[in-house]
Amino acid sequence: MDAMERLAEHLSKRRPELRQIKKDGQKIIGYPPGGYLPEEMIYASGALPLCLARGGDPEPVAESLAYIPRFIDTFCRCQIGYRVMGEEVLYQLPDLIVVPVTDINMRGIADVWDYYTDVKTFRYGVPHNKRQDALDYYIGSLRLLKEKLESFTGITITEDKLKEEIKTQNRMRELFRNISQLRQPGKTPAISTQDFLKLHHASFYADRATLREILETLYEELKQKQVEETGKPKVLLTASTLAMGDYKIFNIMNEVGGEFIFEEAAEGMMPYEHEVSLDGDPILAMADTFFMKRVVPAWFRPTRERVDYLINKAKELKVDGLMWYQLLYRDGYDIQSYSFKKEFEEVTGLPFLKLESDYDTSERGQFKTRVETFVEIMKQRGN
């Protein structure tokens, strides 16, 4: 059995396992994806972090209309659907929800948990710039989170314990980084973007030790793997949210003969590009990694950093085009896509495709036509 198969097997048993863990008394702390919550904090408090990142299914979107009006980002809007429909076990497990509030859509997630369920939230705001006062705010937020976790679990988060968890998480991040770095500029990657993303999604609820072991094996397997160049156009993917279960665009890209070779998403991935320093105050070190070094999402202002990052990535990875994937009513992405497209095309000369999803099944045909054309354009340019 190879590593990916082992992972699938582990995940298939994980939901009942988590149920048992909860039954046995360990606290489970849920949080929405977004990368502003250092999981090491939760581990250090003796609780189990559980990232609630399901999306892509139309039914919870429809269901959510009974709870929240439709003008909220699709991913954020449908979260209540997963909870009330009851079929997704992960959404039934949390004892507490921690929400780093990055924008109104995320705040909406916190509001619906508080209003419609008996699971309460702890929120902390993420400022929208990287000035010193903003960093200080984020640091203060992490300190409050620490206090909250301590009072919630009754376990003191000592500096030693926290550093130990940081070390473990650093190793996880390193493994993700190592695997990511096997992807070469302009080449067919050893691991598909969809598989790489699925590793991230696995990290949201898998047993950490098991996942770590699987990632170690997988890395070795991938290193040995002889990758055949497909010659398909290479695409850089950037997204507001790449939710667990939202794989429509990957399937379509596969069908029409293009391939993603790298991805950046505000939500849906575990931050892995930088480790947390073990020197000095661990809170400051985490703030540096999770806030300062983090690629800014579209709702930051100024937002230049993100624009430059994507343009540089496109050049560095020698991609043939960029796909911008966003969810309906995520205004920050919609607005930024306008000036970004202009600049991206001007600077790189590469084609740009924007897709916007409401997790609706009727989108598929339209998406396919557009991605097909996009791939065709890239092919023509290649010749």
Q: With respect to another protein, which residue has the nearer C-beta, 67 or 247?
A: 67
Q: Does residue 103 belong to the site contacting another protein (CB under 8 A)?
A: yes
Contact status: 234 vs another protein (CB under 8 A): no
Angle value at C-alpha 142, between 141 and 148, nearest 5 degrees = 90
| 197 vs 307 by CB, closer to another protein | 307
Listed residue (202, 195, 143, 150) closest to 172, CA to CA: 202
Q: Is 245 in the site for another protein (CB under 8 A)?
A: no
Site for another protein, residues 289 to 348, rule: CB under 8 A: 298-299, 301-303, 328-329, 331-332, 334-339
Let me know if 225 is exposed, middle or buried by CB neighbors in 10 A (0-12, 13-18, 19+): exposed
CA 125 – CA 99 distance, rounded (Å): 8
Least distance (Å) between residue 53 CB and another protein: 20
* Interatomic CA distance for residues 181 and 277, integer angstroms: 21
228 class by beta-carbon count within 10 Å (0-12 exposed, 13-18 middle, 19+ buried): exposed
What DSSP character marks residue 232?
P
3-state secondary structure of 208: helix
Task: Give the span between the Cα atoms of 40 and 372, in whole angstroms.
Answer: 42
E strand or H helix that includes residue 101? strand 96-101
Instruction: Look up residue 305 and give its two tokens.
Output: 């950093």
Query: Do 153 and 45 form a contact (C-beta atoms < 8 A)?
Result: yes
Interface size with another protein, residues (CB under 8 A)? 64
Q: Please tell me whether residue 111 binds another protein under the rule CB under 8 A.
A: yes
Q: Is 46 in the site for another protein (CB under 8 A)?
A: no
**Footprint of another protein on residues 68-87 (CB under 8 A)?**
68-72
3-state secondary structure of 97: strand
Residue span 49-68 as binding mask against another protein, x where in contact by CB under 8 A, dash where not: ---------xx-xxx-xxxx
Touching another protein, residues 121-160 (CB under 8 A): 121-129, 131, 133-134, 137, 140-141
**Residue from 114, 164, 264, 273 in contact with another protein (CB under 8 A):** 114
Report the residue number, 119 or 182, with the smaller CB distance to another protein. 119
Contact residue for another protein among 12, 224, 361, 383 (CB under 8 A): 361
Distance of CA 9 to the CA centre of its chain: 22
Report the residue from 308, 360, 373, 382 that binds another protein according to the rule CB under 8 A: 360
Binding interface with another protein (CB under 8 A): 58-59, 61-63, 65-72, 101, 103-105, 107-108, 110-112, 114-115, 120-129, 131, 133-134, 137, 140-141, 298-299, 301-303, 328-329, 331-332, 334-339, 356, 358, 360-366
